[in-house]
Amino acid sequence: MATRAALDGKEWVITGHKIWTSLAHLSDWCFVLARTEAGSRRGTGLSYLLVPMDQPGVTIRPIKQLTGTAEFNEVFFDEARTAAANVVGTPGDGWRIAKATLAIERGAAMLGQQVGFRRELTDLARLAKHTRAARDPMIRDRLARAWIGLQVIRAYALDTLDGNDEYRASVLKVLWSRWHRDLGELAMDVAGIAGVVAGSAELDRWQRLFLFSRADTIYGGSDEIQHDIIASRGLGLPR
């Protein structure tokens, strides 16, 4: 954790670098986890700050992805400022709050996300009929398994709403990220040869789904990180 912040009167002064910041180029505010206690290590001495983006000390550089779009960004803080009151919780307690934020992203927030997943699956089933891919029993089986998997994901997401057992959010993250990645692969098989041909302009919807969903098992904490959390905090296994 190299980004640092120090109080200067009634403001935090922040210097550092944040990467893979979703939609930073469209945002008015972002949260920054910064080291605010000199000499602290690992998860101690960190603070969770809310920082306005429209100021001279903030530089945003979009990262172009395989899809040709740039939802993710690098953000550089060069003595950027935010009010001293813009700390979530108490100074030094940022790591606990950051973990809670990640648990929401991995878990309960999926209830909203699965609405989009359901729409994608419904439209893909229609495409399979249109392309006649649905005549293939293997394709029909994969579509059915995708529908079943989405029901399981939704039920598990509802089960995480009580906020207990942080590891359950990691279980859900593994479930939905792999489900969506597999849906992207299924979309390419349904599209057939058209799926591997890029048009003269932008990629089509299913090509973007396939390419972007490759990142689902990485952002928000990779599968490997989730497995460590499940093993240590859920199953009680040694580090």
Give me the active site residues, please. Answer: 105
Strand partners, 52: 29
Alpha-helical (H) ranges within the chain are 94-106, 110-131, 137-159, 167-191, 205-212, 223-229
- Residue 77 dihedral angles phi and psi, to the nearest 5°: -115, 115
Residue (of 62, 105, 120, 64) closest to 216 by Cα position? 105
Residue 149 makes CB contacts below 8 A (sequence gap 6+) with 175, 179
Residue 114 makes CB contacts below 8 A (sequence gap 6+) with 150, 153, 154, 157, 176
Q: How many of the other CB atoms lie within 10 Å of CB of 122?
A: 11
Q: H or E element: which one contains 48?
A: strand 46-52
Residue 44 Cα to chain centre, angstroms:
24
Estimate the crossing angle of helix 137-159 against helix 167-191, to 10 degrees.
Answer: 160
